[in-house]
Amino acid sequence: METDVPSGYYPLDMAPGFDMQFGQMYGKEVDGNLILGFRVQERHLNVAKTLHGGAIATFADWQILPAQKLAGLDIHAPTINLSLDYLSMAVLGDWIECTVRLQKQTRTMIFTHAEITSGENLIARANAIYYVKR
């Protein structure tokens, strides 16, 4: 099931450790922006057999990749704050996407907003702040 990826998506480089436990994520370039995606697997489910909030939070934290692209940065930017609103659920086999908007960039911070969807269904929205060490 993990290999069932929509057209145009390519595998992202996953760091060793926790990211590898999450599973493969994918990216797709659309109008100069990087859209993130992954397929919901058993490892992402909670006891109710829906997408676990922790999996959504992990995926939401990856919004730094598109934000870095939009900001023209290629450096590690640790998370200072990540806030999420859980709006709906997803289930095994759903394709989940994350679209990111760069809200503001300062000398030391990146502020982002992300929408996480499954098809037309808005699963969650997230705001994040990342530290940019120059």
Are 53 and 88 spatial neighbours (Cβ–Cβ below 8 Å)? no
pLDDT tens per residue across all 134 residues of the chain: 556 899 999 999 888 888 888 999 999 999 888 999 999 999 999 999 999 999 999 999 999 988 888 888 888 899 999 999 999 999 999 999 999 999 999 999 999 999 999 999 999 999 999 999 87
d(C-alpha 53, C-alpha 26), whole Å: 19
Q: What is the pTM of this model?
A: 0.91
For 17, the 3-state DSSP assignment is coil
For 92, the 3-state DSSP assignment is coil
- Strands lying side by side in the sheet with 10-11: 10-11, 26-30, 33-39, 95-105, 109-118, 121-131, 79-86
Domains in the chain: ranges and CATH: 10-109+120-131 (3.10.129.10)
Q: Tens digit of pLDDT for each residue in 94-122?
A: 999 999 999 999 999 999 999 999 999 99
